[in-house]
Amino acid sequence: MEDYRFSDHQLYDRLVKHAQTMHGDDHHLRQLIKADQRMAEFSAIGGGIFFDYSRQRVDASTMRLLLALADAAAVMDQFADMASGKKVNVTENRAALHMAARSFSDVPVRLDGRDVKPDLKCVLEEIRTFSETVHRGETTGSTGQAFRHVVVVGIGGSYLGTEFVARALEAFADKGISLEFLANVDVHNFGCIWSRIQAEQTLWIIISKSYTTAETMANEDLIRRYMDASGLDPSKHLVTVTSKGSPGDQGAGQGLAAFHMFDFIGGRYSVSSAVGGVPLSLYLGYERFERFLKGAEEMDRHALEAAPTQNLPLIAALLSVWNTSFLGYPQTAIIPYASPLCKLAPHVQQLNMESNGKSVDSAGRLLAEPAGTVIFGEPGTNAQHSFFQLAHQGKAFPIDFIGVLNPQYQMDEGSFKGVGHQQELWANMLAQATALASGRKSENPAKSFSGNRPSSSIVLENLDPENVGRLLAFYEARTIYEAFIWGINPFDQFGVELGKLTAGTIRSEMAARNQNPGHDFAALDPINRAYLQMLFKGKFPG
Amino acid sequence: MEDYRFSDHQLYDRLVKHAQTMHGDDHHLRQLIKADQRMAEFSAIGGGIFFDYSRQRVDASTMRLLLALADAAAVMDQFADMASGKKVNVTENRAALHMAARSFSDVPVRLDGRDVKPDLKCVLEEIRTFSETVHRGETTGSTGQAFRHVVVVGIGGSYLGTEFVARALEAFADKGISLEFLANVDVHNFGCIWSRIQAEQTLWIIISKSYTTAETMANEDLIRRYMDASGLDPSKHLVTVTSKGSPGDQGAGQGLAAFHMFDFIGGRYSVSSAVGGVPLSLYLGYERFERFLKGAEEMDRHALEAAPTQNLPLIAALLSVWNTSFLGYPQTAIIPYASPLCKLAPHVQQLNMESNGKSVDSAGRLLAEPAGTVIFGEPGTNAQHSFFQLAHQGKAFPIDFIGVLNPQYQMDEGSFKGVGHQQELWANMLAQATALASGRKSENPAKSFSGNRPSSSIVLENLDPENVGRLLAFYEARTIYEAFIWGINPFDQFGVELGKLTAGTIRSEMAARNQNPGHDFAALDPINRAYLQMLFKGKFPG
């Protein structure tokens, strides 16, 4: 394993060669999907999810080679190492134990010899107790009114996963509490939320591991001043989710409660921790949050234990690497045919692109080619009426279709053209996957469809909390398996440092000008100098 | 012009060669942006917008070659032809007159000899009158209650542009009316909206040019039945936006009003027509919708009249083509540093990808390489905490940054680290563009930034209705100019046909099974047959 390098491995070369044969006309998806056993051979059920890759551009040889590569990279051993508390985040010397946050078994998970599960369990109990006292109206704001609005104050990994789960389970939100997200330092974001809420009925959840995140701290400051100015006691309207001992963990006086997060769970993997637990328990009730965790746990066990040939996240990861590094697709779309999953693509966009958008391997050596892929998406059928023109006749990209057998709403759907809404939705999802794969020849090039455009289909039996947990855990495990195949570390993010550093320089120049109206930004390059002049004038030059 | 073919043109070959020189180290953006006059040379103000492309990978020669290509393709003549009513949508034998819908001048626009402007004016007057009677409480639902909820029922071009504008101008929505979008046939979409509204206070706007769009018609059917079942008269709660004489233009009895749309304005260009006009006038007030139109008109005049070297949408289009076809970037991100612009990327995603994701030129000949590019994006700084790891250290892609000098909300921003929220936001936007361009060398490959990652910056003085109109018109004109450079028709979308056709086949099989429980889907391929069995059982096989 130590000398595994993705693009140096002999299986890499074999896969490059093999990809050439897959470009042949006899390997067009139109041909491949004709085989009677195609779907049986290229699909699997596991962890509560059905995964069909019969419309990916693979054959039995492809899968053999890819699975051999996974074996060469010892990806399942690495996954087990991660689960057992080894410091797989080597660059930051940290473990990656998001799965421990949803492990309800008695098996300890030791980090530096100490079981982390009691601490996690303790936080979970605090979340349960706190959310229940809020729901019973025992914990209130400073005027004694019950909380009706909860605002998550956090950015990136501190809100995207929670937003995905909250939207997915909105149909279950029966606690009379609305959930808003204040992520951006953009004053429009605060202004808009402030105009929507009643301050005396609002609970703010400030989420930051270090309690130094610039956007979140600037918003915390704004919130305290606005609550104060409204005659409310901010400390009675605020809880924090932060590391033990951080500036956000200062006990009574600061807020109603502080829920701990741990450095062995990274932001983009943190929805199962207090980061998701506090807001989701308030919004949906603790029981539903626990059901969500148990669904995720089921998928974790599958990812950890299922044989490679039946292991959904591993197979999905191999297909990502195949599509990206061997077939050369530069992006992947996620198209859920279920409106409640509307925030899945933005969540996976962060989860995956921040984890795997890297140029160095785990040992810090430059990769032959950067890893990772761009991820984007919108729900179907909406996407069909938006960018599917390009999906069919522009440059091709692979798609994850996601279908749900039984919707959350049992409506009287009636019958339009002989089918109900749910059936119409499915007819469209299946039709898109079929049309993209098969294409259609026509004398008229404008009406020709080259086809051979790959997709996977992921099916859930319904959209209950367990299944949303399974889906989240599937994409987490897939992301990590991808990283292990590419040989990179999915848990660090040094790529965000330079921007922060540069922002600091520009911020200092602004602060100097705020102090001294004569300050001329001479320390900056000419372009940024011109921009600061424009910004301080509030209008275009000239 | 008739024999212009993008990839056959000698300027194409020269640009291919020129791109090689731009890959040299001496043409790294780190070097290019050092020039004192860089920003003055590579920026322009026009149509009320500031456009800075100093951090694109271009030099004076690049721009000369690109402008010569624009000249060779006679793009400004084509744009003028479009504006004057010529049938530039050659495959469908239609004009493309979205600009006429916001032309307040007296100059006629003749289509087949007849001025289209009186008809457009007439619809606009109907919109004004209708929205004003709703706001005055004179037009009400069937129980006499004022309308408090407006639901747009339409998909793709019938809602994405309106959603963008509505979110951008939410701060101006002072009519006591909420605006929802029912696009998808997904029953979750209807179920969720139905749970949020009071039916007796709801006005449904059914938008479909042909009044045959499957999703919209299925939803119209559902709406009528649910309103009926609530004891309300659907025809008193519904207006249509549709073509004259369509099945949605059947006069009293069908709805409160029918507003006409015309076949010379395509869906994705239709927000200036009744498609946007009816919902936006109800939500924001007619006056603000007219201000929005006037902003768009200003940009239209600029796009039509400004010299190529100063023409923002044309320059932006040339840069798109340069980045896509010569530098080989497979996607572009749109990152507005202004939360109200959160729906700009989804709108432009449709506008641009549906217009330009094509494999044939206007004459129907196969292109050497498909045109168009994938567009995605989220607001900054959120995006920095999401996928910017990949933007900095993964495979590069160009970015449109969008900044607003004066925010909509005048809050007491206080001072955090010596700057206000709006300043902090700008510090971040400028820092990202700078860091992506310059990069940073380091001994440690994990902390190295290769830089040379291009971006444009688009600046608005504020986010009033005029500026939102200008921005919309900028992206429309840019999309069209791109198409003219590639030599394609941006107004048709034959690529969506095959999916519709295939959905029809699958729908028929479902309908047959609804009629006859013994129907076995034998007409379908094995994969789709397996899916329909799964769907009708409501659970996974086995």
Tens digit of pLDDT for each residue in A95-110? 999 999 999 999 999 9
Q: Express each pLDDT in B126-183 by its tens digit.
A: 999 999 999 999 999 999 999 999 999 999 999 999 999 999 999 999 999 999 999 9
Average pLDDT rounded to a whole number, residues A42-50: 98
Q: What totals of helices (H) and strands (E) does chain A contain, helices first?
A: 18, 13
Interchain pair A357, B221: CB under 8 A:
no
The 8-class DSSP code of residue B100 comes to G
Contact residues, chain B, for A363 at CB < 8 Å: none
DSSP B389-439: HHHHHSS---EEEEEEEE-S-------BTTB-HHHHHHHHHHHHHHHHHH-
Q: How far is CA B513 from the centre of its chain?
A: 39
The answer to whether the CB of A164 falls within 8 A of the CB of A343 is yes
pLDDT in tens, A299-352: 999 999 999 999 999 999 999 999 999 999 999 999 999 999 999 999 999 999
Taking the C-alpha atoms of residue B182 and residue B153, their distance in angstroms, rounded to an integer, is 5
Average pLDDT, chain B: 96
For the whole model, what pTM was predicted?
0.97
- A115 pairs with which residues across the strands? A110
- Residue B536: other Cβ atoms inside 10 A: 16
Count of residues making up chain A: 542
* Residue A89 DSSP one-character state: B
For residue B97, pLDDT beyond 70:
yes
Cis ω for the linkage preceding A381 (within 30 of 0) = yes
Tell me which residue in B382, B391, B434 faces A183 most closely, judged by beta carbons: B382
Query: What residue has token string 């409501």?
Result: B538
pLDDT at A415: 85
What is the distance between the alpha carbons of residues B91 and B494, in angstroms, rounded to a whole number?
10
For residue B508, the chain A residue with the least C-alpha distance is: A418
B2: pLDDT confidence band, cut at 50, 70 and 90? low
d(CA A325, CA A490): 17
* Greatest C-alpha distance within chain A: 77
Q: Is A354 a catalytic residue?
A: yes
Residue A106 distance to chain B (closest CA, Å): 31
- HEC string for B265-294: CCHHHCCCCHHHHHHHHHHHCHHHHHHHHH
Q: Is A500 a catalytic residue?
A: yes
Of A50, A357, A499, the CB nearest to B390: A357
User: Which residue among the candidates A34, A188, A417, A500 is catalytic per the annotation?
Assistant: A500
**Range A420-439 average pLDDT:** 97
Residues of B in contact with A214 (CB under 8 A): 416-417, 424
Catalytic residue among B188, B417, B500, B539: B500
Q: What is the pLDDT of residues B290-340, one digit of tens each?
A: 999 999 999 999 999 999 999 999 999 999 999 999 999 999 999 999 999
A231's CB contacts (< 8 A; 6+ apart) are none
pLDDT of residue A251: 86
Q: Is the pLDDT of residue A1 over 80?
A: no
CA distance B248 to chain A (A): 16
Q: Is A2's pLDDT higher than 60?
A: no
Whether B488 shows a pLDDT value over 60: the answer reads: yes
Q: Is residue B385 among the annotated active site residues?
A: yes
Cα A542 from chain centre? 44
**What per-residue confidence (pLDDT) applies to B411?**
83
**Nearest-by-Cβ selection for B502 from A357, A434, A495:** A434
Sheet with B238-243, side-by-side order of all strands: B178-182, B149-153, B202-207, B238-243, B257-261
Query: Tell me, what's the pLDDT at B528?
Result: 97
CA–CA dist A274, A264 (Å, integer): 13
Residues 6+ apart with CB under 8 A from A326: A15, A16, A18, A19
On chain A, the residues whose CB falls within 8 A of the CB of B499 are 384, 388, 392, 428, 431-432, 435-436
Q: Are B379 and A50 inside 8 Å of each other by CB?
A: no
B483 contact residues in A (CB cutoff 8 A): none
Instruction: Read off the pLDDT of each residue in A278-286 and give the average, rounded to a whole number.
Output: 98
d(CA B336, CA B76): 28
Give the pLDDT score at A410.
87
CA distance B272 to B163: 13
CA distance B512 to chain A (A): 8
pLDDT reading at B412 higher than 90: no
Strand, coil or helix: what is B203? strand
Cis amide prior to B202 (ω within 30 degrees): no
Q: Using one digit for the tens of pLDDT, what is the confidence trace for B351-407?
A: 999 999 999 999 999 999 999 999 999 999 999 999 999 999 999 999 999 999 999
pLDDT tens-place string over residues A9-19: 999 999 999 99
Sign of CA dihedral B386, B390, B391, B396: negative
Given a contact cutoff of 8 angstroms between Cβ atoms, the answer to whether A21 and A329 are in contact is no
Decide if B293 contacts B469 (C-beta within 8 A).
yes
CA distances from B124 to B4, B48, B68, B194 (A): 39, 24, 40, 30
- Measure the CA–CA gap between B97 and B85, rounded to whole angstroms: 7
pLDDT band, very low/low/confident/very high, at A411 (cuts 50, 70, 90): confident
Is residue B343 within 8 Å of residue B167, measured between CB atoms? yes
Stretch B26-39: mean pLDDT: 95
- Taking the C-alpha atoms of residue B213 and residue B248, their distance in angstroms, rounded to an integer, is 11
